[in-house]
Amino acid sequence: MDIDGDTEASSRRVQVRFITKLEAPLKVPTTSIAVPSNLTRFGLSTIVNNLLEARNPDWEAEPFDFLIDGELVRMSLEQFLLAKGITAEKILEIEYIKAVAPRKEEDPSPHNDWVSAVDGSSPGYILTGCYDHLGRVWKASGVCTRILDGHSDAVTSVSTITPEGAKSVTVATGSKDRTVRLWKFDAEEPVNHPLKIRAFKILRGHKASVQSVAAHVSGKMVCSGSWDCTINLWQTNSLVMEGDLVSTKKRKVNDQVDESQLEGEALSTLVGHTQCVSSVVWPEPESIYSASWDHSIRRWDAETGKDLSDIFCGKVLNCLDVGGEGSALIAAGGSDPVLRIWDPRTSAPVFQFASHASWISACKWHEKSWFHLLSASYDGKLMLWDLRTAWPLSIIESHNGKVLCADWWKGDSVVSGGDDSNLCISSAIYV
């Protein structure tokens, strides 16, 4: 685009200065330049790319996003300035950041059945749960290293419980067979073909399908929400206790296996929800958040099991995540196309994102960023959101069918599973 050309002399011009927090090769000179006021994000991005190219001839064009006074520009500069009431007389400071959008779609990793759960909290692998009763561990796209075999019904949720730095990995899976199973494997160990492993501990106690599993930060405990309206807390240690052994023997007889399998009972049960507990998260050691079909989000004291606070939404909630600024914002989605974000101090949602067309099945905050989160919906779309704008940053349409689960992976990828039985990985997202 010819910025200084006479072709656009008639349109108004704005004096802007581009600033950034990005590293050296992405920095542009801070001198102010006049740009046409009808430029949109794309135009601004071209300018920045041109400027970068001027300094570095080998520069490859990259999309940027622009912030003016902490808000993302999603319309033409002129409209934006008018809408925000910013004067065009002064030199406008525009901060640019890398656009948050996937630049690469990796090949889908096929499953035997619907992918119901995915966990990408560990950078070394992706954990998925599937309707074929199995859990899987993926090293990369299409590379399955472990198969977690043992559930007798669809796996509904998976969660990594390994504390940081541990060599062997412990994961938990919840299933419709009313159990939570704990698995241990060495993620670093190279394998050529998928290894079947068995759960080292089976946690029984729920009376209906387990819907969600979350681990304590230390990894010593897991909690699980279920269709029987309760949240159970379990211990993850592999210490063999007297009571457990007895039942293990029984299992041995039944299953005719040599490996010892522990059984555990719930440490405590958090009762209070009146309907299915669809999602639990345990972001801090002391409090558990849970979302339920009874339209409420509750915060529980993990020690005492007391219900600390309630947020009522009016809709059935399917997914919940806590993160954002100060790791305190609650994002939840449910039986309507609106992703809501609450500040726990207020009862009304502070943000509502309504670009989806159907139920929201998953929502996750980005680990590092305060502003970014993703949402997955039954309309087959994944959306990346920034709190600084009401429009989705990008829409990923890798699935053809419902997206049942989604998570961030390695901080720059989005992993998602859907009813097309695929695990999709969209990578190279710079947040």
Residues 172-191 that bind another protein (CB under 8 A): 178
Question: Binding to another protein by residue 335, rule CB under 8 A?
Answer: yes
Question: Binding to another protein by residue 208, rule CB under 8 A?
Answer: yes
Question: Binding to another protein by residue 359, rule CB under 8 A?
Answer: yes
Cβ-based nearer residue to another protein, 201 or 402: 402
What does DSSP say about strands 71-72 and 372-377: parallel, antiparallel, or unpaired?
Answer: unpaired
Query: Cβ 330 to another protein, closest distance in Å?
Result: 21
What does DSSP say about strands 329-334 and 339-342: parallel, antiparallel, or unpaired?
Answer: antiparallel
Among 12, 55, 207, 250, the residue binding another protein under the rule CB under 8 A is 207
Query: Cβ 211 to another protein, closest distance in Å?
Result: 9
Alpha carbon distance 15, 17 (integer Å): 7
Query: Cβ 349 to another protein, closest distance in Å?
Result: 17
Which one-letter amino acid corresponds to residue 227? W
Question: Binding to another protein by residue 200, rule CB under 8 A?
Answer: no
Residues 299-318 that bind another protein (CB under 8 A): 314-316, 318
Alpha carbon distance 205, 231 (integer Å): 10
In 3D, which of 398, 374, 404, 414 has the Cα closest to residue 115?
Answer: 404
Half-sphere exposure of 328 (CA within 13 A, CB side): 7
The token pair at 81 is 């300035």
Cβ-based nearer residue to another protein, 49 or 275: 275
DSSP state of 48: H
Query: Cβ 418 to another protein, closest distance in Å?
Result: 10
Alpha carbon distance 92, 183 (integer Å): 55
Alpha carbon distance 212, 229 (integer Å): 12
Residues 125-164 that bind another protein (CB under 8 A): 131
Cβ-based nearer residue to another protein, 25 or 314: 314
Alpha carbon distance 367, 250 (integer Å): 42
Query: Cβ 337 to another protein, closest distance in Å?
Result: 8
Alpha carbon distance 387, 351 (integer Å): 8
Question: Binding to another protein by residue 336, rule CB under 8 A?
Answer: yes
Q: Build a one-symbol-per-residue string for 224-263: x at contacts with another protein by CB under 8 A, - elsewhere.
A: ---x------------------------------------
Q: How far is CA 53 from CA 47, 57, 59, 397, 428, in A?
A: 10, 5, 5, 32, 22
Total of chain residues touching another protein, rule CB under 8 A: 25
- Partnered with residue 16 across adjacent β-strands are 33, 92
What does DSSP say about strands 169-175 and 179-185: parallel, antiparallel, or unpaired?
Answer: antiparallel
Query: Cβ 212 to another protein, closest distance in Å?
Result: 12
Among 45, 160, 175, 209, the residue binding another protein under the rule CB under 8 A is 209
Query: Cβ 208 to another protein, closest distance in Å?
Result: 7
Cβ-based nearer residue to another protein, 33 or 316: 316
Alpha carbon distance 102, 394 (integer Å): 8
Among 114, 125, 200, 371, the residue binding another protein under the rule CB under 8 A is 114
Rg of the chain over Cα atoms, rounded to whole angstroms, equals 24
Among 402, 414, 415, 424, the residue binding another protein under the rule CB under 8 A is 402
Tell me which residues touch another protein (CB under 8 A): 114, 116, 131, 178, 207-209, 227, 275-276, 278, 293, 314-316, 318, 335-337, 358-359, 378, 402, 404, 419
